[in-house]
């Protein structure tokens, strides 16, 4: 699998009072850590741990932050040969101000080199052995990657490579446009969270959002946070809950959606159907909430499949009215 998207360190600042005080004041906080960030990087690490052969294509600068990320990826067995180094730009960085007791966080991001990756940068990585192409954080990259992405997905599919997309949040709040709809038409699996699904479709109910987005082409899997996930594949609705075997111990949901994505794609690559793959996604996503950050929990495929067996999944046929109208 090749994952395209965002690659940056996260500086996570933890404490009850993490609000900066201007006027050159110094405050002490509970902890500050430097961890693997970026939706695409977190997904790549999770996928590698699930046993997939995975490469990451993302743009970083020739600086310490970029070296940190390349080192972390390599240590996890992620192929970094498709990474793009931009010597004239800084590697993207994020600062997360986290108040765990209030279950809230504020995020500051500088994009730096990140939004410079183009479809042309990816061509060398579209090798003969590639089976799946995933794009994360579309809205952060759309200026450089958007033009030509629909065509790249179409070329991939013509070679038998399946495609998936997680747009994540649109900081500009413009959401879908003609260009993105053209990408969706060439997307096999779309994996937004609930709020993103509704913004992408312009609907205010998640079922309507799924119906509307899948009318553009993809099978749609919507992440519902602590409620699990919902999917539609044209014939049926599938609803998954959280794994019963998980137990208590929630730490944070950073990267949960990215770990979920890795689980879904790993499940599909193993030949599971959409409902089965969604259960693997819930297993890996939920497991990731039991350790700090997006890569603190380490889930291999055996553990993911075992946990997925305790995920309740119900499937119902899509009603006649819906089926006829499509």
Ligand X SMILES: Nc1ncnc2c1ncn2[C@@H]1O[C@H](COP(=O)(O)OP(=O)(O)O)[C@@H](O)[C@H]1O
Contacting positions for ligand X (CB under 6 A): 193, 223-226, 228-229, 242, 250, 253, 256-257, 260, 282, 285-286, 289
By C-beta, is 84 or 224 nearer to ligand X? Answer: 224
Judged by beta carbon, residue 161 or residue 256, the one nearer ligand X is 256
Is residue 196 within 8 Å of 168, Cβ to Cβ? yes
In terms of CB distance, is 137 or 162 closer to Mg ion?
Answer: 137
Q: How far is the CB of 243 from ligand X (least distance, A)?
A: 8
Residue with tokens 């939004």: 115
Looking at residues 195 to 234 of the shown chain, list those that interact with Mg ion (rule: CB under 5 A): none
Q: How far is the CB of 7 from ligand X (least distance, A)?
A: 17
- Closest-by-Cβ residue to ligand X is 257
> Measured from the CB of residue 197, what is the shortest distance to ligand X in angstroms?
10
d(CA 138, CA 170): 8
Q: Which of 264, 257, 304, 296 is nearest to 281 (CA)?
A: 264
Residues 44 and 73 sit within 8 Å (Cβ to Cβ): yes
Of 86, 125, 295, which is closest to residue 134 (Cα–Cα)? 125
Rounded CA separation 276/229 (Å): 12
Rank residues 139 and 260 by Cβ distance to ligand X and give the closer one: 260
**How many other C-beta atoms lie within 10 A of the C-beta of residue 222?**
24
Find the shortest distance in angstroms from Cβ 326 to ligand X. 25
Residue 27 partner contact from Mg ion, ligand X, none using kind-dependent CB cut-offs of 5 to 8 Å: none
Binders of Mg ion among residues 129 to 188 (CB under 5 A) are 168
Q: How far is the CB of 316 from Mg ion (least distance, A)?
A: 26
Q: Pick one of 55, 218, 257, 276: the residue that binds Mg ion (CB under 5 A).
A: 257
Our finding on whether 37 is near Mg ion (CB under 5 A) is no
The tokens for 36 are 């693997």
Q: Of Mg ion, ligand X, none, which one sits near residue 77, judging by CB under 5 to 8 A according to partner kind? A: none
By beta carbon distance, the residue nearest Mg ion is: 257
- Of the pair 61, 257, the CB lying nearest ligand X is at 257
Q: Let me know: does 163 contact 157? Beta carbons within 8 Å.
A: yes
User: Which partner, Mg ion, ligand X, none, binds residue 253 by CB below 5 to 8 Å per kind?
Assistant: ligand X
Give the whole-angstrom CA distance, residue 12 versus residue 99: 10
Which runs of consecutive H residues, i.e. helices, occur in the chain?
Answer: 39-49, 64-75, 119-122, 138-145, 149-158, 178-184, 194-201, 206-215, 256-269, 274-288, 301-308, 320-325
Q: Which does 260 bind (CB under 5 to 8 A by kind): ligand X, Mg ion, none?
A: ligand X
d(CA 248, CA 201): 34
Binding partner at 225 among ligand X, Mg ion, none, C-beta below 5 to 8 Å by kind: ligand X
Residues binding Mg ion (CB under 5 A)? 168, 257
């Amino acid at each position: 699998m090749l994952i395209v998207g965002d690659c940056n360190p996260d500086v996570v600042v933890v404490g009850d009072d993490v609000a900066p005080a201007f006027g050159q004041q110094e405050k002490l906080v509970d902890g500050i850590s430097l961890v693997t960030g970026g939706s695409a990087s977190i997904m790549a690490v999770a996928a590698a741990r699930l046993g997939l052969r995975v490469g990451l294509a993302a743009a970083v600068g020739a600086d310490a932050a970029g070296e940190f990320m390349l080192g972390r990826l390599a240590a996890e067995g992620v192929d970094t040969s498709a990474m793009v180094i931009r010597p004239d730009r800084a590697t993207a960085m994020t600062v997360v101000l986290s108040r765990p007791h209030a279950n809230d966080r504020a995020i500051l991001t500088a994009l730096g080199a990140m939004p410079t990756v183009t479809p042309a940068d990816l061509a060398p990585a579209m090798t003969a052995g590639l089976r799946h192409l995933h794009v994360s954080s579309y809205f952060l990259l759309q200026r450089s990657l958007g033009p030509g992405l629909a065509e790249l997905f179409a070329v991939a599919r013509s070679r038998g490579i399946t495609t998936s997309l997680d747009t994540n949040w649109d900081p500009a709040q413009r959401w879908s446009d003609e260009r993105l709809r053209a990408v969706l038409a060439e997307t096999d699996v779309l994996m937004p969270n609930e709020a993103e699904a509704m913004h992408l479709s312009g609907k205010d109910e998640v079922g309507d959002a799924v119906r509307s987005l899948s009318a553009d082409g993809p099978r749609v899997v919507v992440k519902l946070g602590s409620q699990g996930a919902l999917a539609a594949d044209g014939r049926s609705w599938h609803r998954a809950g959280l794994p019963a075997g998980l137990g208590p111990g929630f730490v944070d949901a950073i990267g949960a959606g990215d770990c979920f994505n890795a689980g879904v794609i790993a499940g599909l690559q193993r030949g599971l159907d959409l409902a089965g793959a969604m259960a693997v996604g819930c297993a890996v996503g939920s497991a990731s909430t039991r350790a700090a950050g997006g890569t603190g929990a380490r889930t291999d495929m055996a553990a993911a499949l075992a946990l997925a067996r305790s995920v309740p999944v119900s499937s119902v046929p899509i009603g006649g009215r819906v089926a006829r109208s499509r």
